[in-house]
Chain A
Amino acid sequence: MNKLLRASLALALVAPFGALADTQAEIDALRHEIDAMRAAYEARLQALEQRLKASEAAAATPTAPALTATPAASTATNAPIAPSAAVAPVVASSSRGANAFNPSISLILSGLYTRTSRDPANYAISGFPLSTDAETGPGTRGFSLAESELGFAASIDPWLRGAASIALHPDDTVSVEEAYIQTTSLGNGFALKAGRFFSGIGYLNPQHAHTWDFVDNPLAYQALLGTQYGDDGVRLTWLAPIDQYLELGAEVGRGRSRSFPGSDSGRNGAGMAALTAHTGGDIGDSHSWRAGVSVLRAKANEQSLIATNAAGEQVTNSFTGSTRVWVADAVWKWAPNGNPTRTNFKLQAEYLRSTRSGSLVHDGGSLVHDGGNVDGAAADYRAVQSGWYLQGVYQLMPRWRVGLRTERLNPGTPDYGLNAESFAGSAFRPRKNTVMVDFNPSEFSRLRLQVAQDRSREGLADNQLFLQYQTSLGAHGAHSY
């Protein structure tokens, strides 16, 4: 290394002067210069080596506490503990070479056994037209691989951090669930996120499936946000400089076709915009809470919606317009003295309200129209729909938790404009009740049994049973509240 440095230095210095250095004096002068440089470099290298040695010594034998006559002796008597100790800091920092900078990698493996009394293939939520891309309902019957997820995260440089999670779906497809960069250095409570990420609206929306307390997301999320709203865009958050937690966020996004209630609009501008506000705090040592309000607005352009017409047939409509979804969320957690190890309780509720307005082109199926609107023509459409859920999860002893969830949807009375007679109004309100028990051998594994009665389809009760395992491999994930 040293030789190479010298040689290259000499070469670099000599080469350009080669042609000019025709007198002996000049060559001598050059030689002296190089010698001087070499001496200077060697002195610096030696100084560096000495400093390195000194710091290594300091790391290996940390400043010996003054008044401890026994430490050496006691270390010696505790032979089983002592030996590996001194090596520690050195092993951790060196010897991993280029791999030391690899991002932390985690893998979520999950599997599911599903039993339903109704065929999930024709799952629908009565009164709620869903996108053809929507992943709703209990999925497939029998054994299946639940969503597995591969996560990467690391600091990019002193100013940015990056994270990606790649979802591996049971049908052998792969999708990018999240892939974003995030600032760590804006300061003053600001943080900027860019890329693909789950929107910060509500409580459950930003959470990954493996952190849910039930196998599935609530009906309100399925019906009004396509299970979970994720988009490509930018998110800015600001945390207020006060003792009370107050976080405000603003997002703009593309409005991807997979991001129900939005769909690609092909415009330069944003297809989605959202605002979020959350606050929270503690009540004594044992209680903590968070609550918030968010609103999301998404544009849809010729979005295919599966709906049921007045004749009870499944038809595909096309919606163009915009949707505004309000979400109010609240969560309260209890743990004796704030120590959740033995018992703890979590109560959470969210209310979602969606207003869609625009025009609907409808496929009339076999219905014959007497006047009014005809197939393929657009007509005004406006629907105000809402839903809520309330759930509680109680850890009754270490490793065991039980949970209850109840939920309702209100399809409202959509105004179909000229299409009105093709759709029959119904006062039916979908509802669902769910019970789950889970067993957590460690914080990295979970077995869950969930039983639900899902009355999403008018007049038909679907009894569902799920048996699920969920495990986390690799990097120790840190979960948000």
Chain B
Amino acid sequence: MMIRNVLLAMIAAPLALCSFSANAALRVLACEPEWGALAQELGGSLVDVSVATNALQDPHQIQAKPSLIARARNADLVVCTGAELEIGWLPVLLQQSGNAKVQPGQPGNFAAADYVRKLDVPTQLDRSQGDVHAAGNPHIQTDPRAIAQVATALGTRLQQVDPAHASQYAQRQADFMQRWQQAIARWTAQAAPLKGVPVVSQHKAFVYLYDWLGLKEVAVLEPKPGVEPTAGHLQQVLTALKDVPVRMVLYAAYQDPRSSEWLSKNAGIAAVKMPFTVGGTDGAKDLFSLFDDTIARLLAAGEKR
């Protein structure tokens, strides 16, 4: 009896749903909020963006939960960071989605890190070094110049997967790029005082930001990438800081702030919560305010002393 019902459902459901799928916008599934925001900037009302994770989640540690599988099933384009950031969950998500359009190698599968020059590429691959990424540091979204490169590639990709609206995408992209380049100029000028400032990071999450603004990372609280800070290692960092006049310790919104706060208290430096992505702080509402807030927080902490 139940088997028969299941079979009936199997036949009836696709028939019932055929009628819905005709005229919808291009469905984009972004793995992280920054790419969701970028797709929204570039696609406007032509795209229907859904984001798989929020700013308070660690993008390394997401599970291929049912809601995400359902969304991958229905996506026309999946926009992720790549560079192995999502290696623990995205492959399963795509395999279980039964969606041919978004499989690796298809136009519907976009990996942002493919279009950016990566930093921290390990010369030696061994897990004794912690959770290292063979392709390099994947946290590219902390540098707006990298976002500009991704925007160029993503704009082209949107035109490719939705050729009917190619001219509109091109127009939106040109408009975004102009506003973005102006904003980069503004941020770069605002952040000039930060150049050469020595800082500590909780996770190696900001190398692109440092590369852009010229901040100097003198220590990392995680003894190895992805390994929780230990009391012993924190003590070592504290001792090392006696010789270097560090101004601040940076942690991402999704991280447990306790180790940064401990260092802040014991070394007498500012602990700065970075939005890291769109939605990480109240101020970081979209891509532009993400960097407005990032720079403002860094400047505030830099001036405290």
Contact = CB atoms under 8 A, between A and B. Distances in A.
- Counting contact residues on chain A (CB < 8 A from B), the size range is 35 or more
A239 B69 contact: yes
Interface string A216-250: 00000000000000000000011111111111100
Nearest to A293: B2
A381 to B, nearest CB: 24
Contacts of A70: 188, 195, 214
A73 B216 CA distance: 14
B87 A338 contact: no
Contacts of A69: 188
Interface string B23-66: 00000000000000000000000000000011011100111111
Contacts of A68: 145, 184, 188
Interface residues of B, number: 84
B67 A338 contact: no
A103 to B, nearest CB: 13
B121 A87 contact: yes
A182 B95 contact: yes
Interface string A63-104: 101111111011101100110111111011000000000000
Contacts of A480: 64, 92, 96
B219 to A, nearest CB: 12
Contacts of B53: 338
Contacts of A63: 149, 152
A88 B135 contact: yes
A62 B117 contact: yes
Given A189-B99, A238-B10, A295-B3, A62 B87 contact: no
Given A81-B120, A92-B135, A282-B65, A246 B13 contact: yes
B214 A281 contact: no
A280 interface: yes
Q: Which of A62, A190, A282 lies at the interface centre, i.e. has the most chain B CB atoms within 10 A of its CB?
A: A62
A476 B87 contact: yes
Contacts of A189: 73, 97-99
B195 A74 contact: yes
A340 B56 CA distance: 10
Contacts of A238: 10, 98
B196 A77 contact: yes
B175 interface: no
A67 B184 contact: yes
A61 to B, nearest CB: 8
B135 A280 contact: no
Contacts of A290: 65-66
B264 interface: no
A242 B17 CA distance: 8
Interface in B190-210: 195-196, 207, 210
Given A88-B118, A239-B96, A342-B256, A478 B87 contact: yes
A337 B62 CA distance: 12
Nearest to A159: B100
Contacts of A82: 119, 211
A448 to B, nearest CB: 19
A429 interface: no
Contact of A65 (B90, B149, B214): B149
A197 to B, nearest CB: 13
A481 interface: yes
A277 interface: yes
Contacts of B98: 186-191, 237-239
Contact of B145 (A71, A73, A185, A242): A71
A285 B115 CA distance: 31
Contact of B211 (A81, A84, A242, A399): A81
B67 A281 contact: yes
B54 A337 contact: yes
A158 interface: yes
A339 B89 contact: no
Contacts of A285: 54, 56
Contacts of B217: 81
B212 A71 contact: yes
A314 to B, nearest CB: 37
A190 B14 CA distance: 12
Interface in A16-71: 62-63, 65-71
B84 A339 contact: no
A442 interface: yes
A242 B211 CA distance: 43
Contact of A479 (B92, B101, B120, B148): B92
A342 B256 CA distance: 8
Contacts of B238: none
B296 interface: no
A426 interface: no
Contacts of A453: none
Given A189-B99, A479-B92, A443 B131 contact: yes
A330 to B, nearest CB: 12
A280 B127 contact: no
A340 B61 contact: yes
Given A86-B117, A480-B64, A295 B2 contact: yes
B57 A338 contact: yes
Interface in A439-481: 442-444, 473, 476-481
A242 B103 CA distance: 19
A288 interface: yes
B123 interface: yes
Given A186-B98, A277-B6, A338-B57, A478 B64 contact: yes
The 6 closest A-B pairs by CB, nearest first: A280-B66, A245-B66, A187-B100, A245-B70, A189-B98, A74-B214
17 contacts: A69-B188, A78-B211, A81-B210, A82-B211, A88-B121, A155-B104, A184-B100, A190-B98, A238-B98, A239-B69, A241-B14, A248-B9, A295-B2, A337-B56, A339-B254, A399-B228, A478-B90
Interface of A: 62-63, 65-71, 73-75, 77-78, 81-82, 84-89, 91-92, 155, 158, 161, 182, 184-191, 237-248, 275, 277-282, 285, 288-290, 293, 295, 333, 337-342, 398-399, 442-444, 473, 476-481
Given A65-B149, A70-B214, 8 more contacts: A70-B195, A74-B195, A74-B213, A82-B119, A186-B100, A282-B65, A285-B54, A285-B56
